[in-house]
Amino acid sequence: MVFRVRELLIRQRTQTINALRGHLNEFGQIVPQGVANASKLVALVECSECELPMEAIATFQALIATLGHFETEIAKLDAEITRRAKEDDLARRLMTVPGIGPLIATAIATLAPPPENFRRARDFAAWLGLVPRQHSTGGKQRLGATTKMGERTLRRLLIIGANSVIIKRHIHQEAQPGTWLGNLLLRKPPMLVRVALANKMARIVWALMARGDVYQSPVAAA
């Protein structure tokens, strides 16, 4: 339940940020989209030189107070998730995989079915909706978009985890030039790479759940 509540709070936080940004835009104050820019929105409301109408400031302050409430509650849930991750054996093992932190590890430990429900790693990735559709053209198999089926929460989290590896690829051995991921980044669009890496992470997750292992980087082993 903690993950569903967290998702709800995040959606409500996003709605509040969008409302604050949209109303500020009406007064000529332009701020880019994104949670990372929320502090800029707050700064504009508190800016004495921005000449916002007093009646508007009162409304903005109500939105800021609501935003602060969501931030506090999300932080509490994140702390609870981190605590659970430290106490759960599977979550600790999953966190050895690059891109998987306490949130993703605990979500998998909580939401994923037992590994024996799937015959192989690919079946687990397919359940998550991370296996590409196959198209046949001239006798050749081509991979298209993912199926979009499966467990949405875990799929979304694994794609976020994959994206974190790509963004921080300079510190990950698995993303260096000459590796599978490094070569893929040179040839394919970023979104396709994110999904491909999330697919690979899902297969690794299934293997760790099925065998009770921890992740060992093939780059380090080589």
Q: Are residues 104 and 211 in the same domain?
A: yes
Which residue segment(s) compose the domain that 142 sits in?
A: 90-217
Q: Which amino acid is at 145?
A: A
Under a CB-based contact definition with an 8 Å cutoff, are residues 210 and 115 in contact?
A: yes
Q: Rounded CA gap, 195 and 62, in Å?
A: 39
pLDDT band at 220 (very low <50, low <70, confident <90, very high): low
Q: Are residues 148 and 205 in the same domain?
A: yes
pLDDT at 102 over 90: yes
Q: Are residues 137 and 32 in the same domain?
A: no
User: pLDDT tens for residues 134-163?
Assistant: 444 444 434 444 444 457 889 999 999 999
User: pLDDT tens for residues 33-71?
Assistant: 989 899 999 999 988 787 888 889 999 999 999 999 999
Tell me if 222 is assigned to some domain: no
Residue at a domain's end among 39, 64, 85? 85
Residue at a domain's end among 67, 85, 103? 85
Q: Are residues 155 and 211 in the same domain?
A: yes
Q: Are residues 182 and 99 in the same domain?
A: yes
Under a CB-based contact definition with an 8 Å cutoff, are residues 161 and 172 in contact?
A: no
Q: Are residues 80 and 104 in the same domain?
A: no
Tell me if 121 is assigned to some domain: yes
Under a CB-based contact definition with an 8 Å cutoff, are residues 130 and 158 in contact?
A: yes
Q: Are residues 70 and 99 in the same domain?
A: no
Q: Rounded CA gap, 120 and 23, in Å?
A: 51
Alpha helices, DSSP H, located in the chain: 2-26, 38-46, 54-87, 89-94, 102-111, 121-127, 152-167, 180-187, 190-211, 218-221
Residue at a domain's end among 85, 105, 125? 85
Q: Are residues 64 and 128 in the same domain?
A: no
Q: Rounded CA gap, 81 and 84, in Å?
A: 5
Q: Return the SS3 of 156.
A: helix
Reading phi first (left if > 0) and then psi (alpha if -120 to 50, else beta), residue 178 is in: left
Under a CB-based contact definition with an 8 Å cutoff, are residues 31 and 41 in contact?
A: yes
Q: Return the SS3 of 37.
A: helix
Give the chain's domain count: 2
Tell me if 54 is assigned to some domain: yes
128-137, 162-171, 183-192: the lowest-pLDDT one: 128-137
**Which pTM does this prediction carry?**
0.79
User: pLDDT tens for residues 167-178?
Assistant: 887 777 777 777
